Amino acid sequence: MRAFSIVLSVVLVGTSAARVSAQPVARGDVTGIIAWLNANKSGLSDYNDWYNRSAYGGVSGGWFWTDHLKSEIEAGASSPAELYAYRPIDINGVRTYINSEYRFSTRRIAASQQYQFLHNAWAHPHASVGVDVTWERTERSDEPIFVFDNLTRTTRLVRPESDADPTTRVLVRPFAELGVKAYMSRRVFFRTDMRLLFKGRVDEVLFRFGVGVDLGVLSASRQ
């Protein structure tokens, strides 16, 4: 409920911020999106702190308050991605390391306010700010641990391979976005942008591409 309230409040900002003006060329739009997701996991490893083999897919819907101001809501999910990491552990006074394989996947909903530059043109740069609510699922597999026994002068197994129970956490993060919307016809457009999510610092980067269609288009042509 809290996450839904945050998303809803971002959308409502558009209503209060909009000013009475000429009717927008389009009332809204719908976009199918694919993206390359890069996520910061520096808390798990000192050397391999980002995973970047995850694909993201989603759909967004926008509503134009004016030709320049648009509220947008988006839902999507990312494919599982792997990250290898290690952490130190002491066993009977001997320092060794646990090697682990992490698998991450996400489901998310986001709401944003977008400012679209230019008027009734074939290409529109845009900038957005918003809130992203992510449900992140994490799975972890630990490799077996071997240590060298100085008494027997042999290597022995001290912990077998194991799998941790999957966990899911909810992340609520602000984001900023820069991109461009370019028309292929009067209603159909191609869209590309880069979205940065923050949690103290840059926490995720998405390079996004999409194809969409304007809804409720007036008779005016692109100039």
Per-residue pLDDT averaged across 199-215, rounded? 96
Query: By percentage, how much of the chain surpasses pLDDT 70?
Result: 87
Give the residue extent of every domain in the chain: 2-215
Summarised one tens digit per residue, pLDDT across range 96-116 is 888 899 999 999 999 999 999
Q: How confident is the model at residue 55 (pLDDT cuts 50, 70, 90)?
A: very high
> pTM, whole model, 2 decimals?
0.83
Q: How confident is the model at residue 4 (pLDDT cuts 50, 70, 90)?
A: very low
Architecture of domain 2-215 in this structure? Beta Barrel (2.40)
* Confidence (pLDDT) at 16: 47
Q: Does residue 13 contact residue 184 with C-beta atoms inside 8 Å?
A: no
* Confidence (pLDDT) at 3: 47
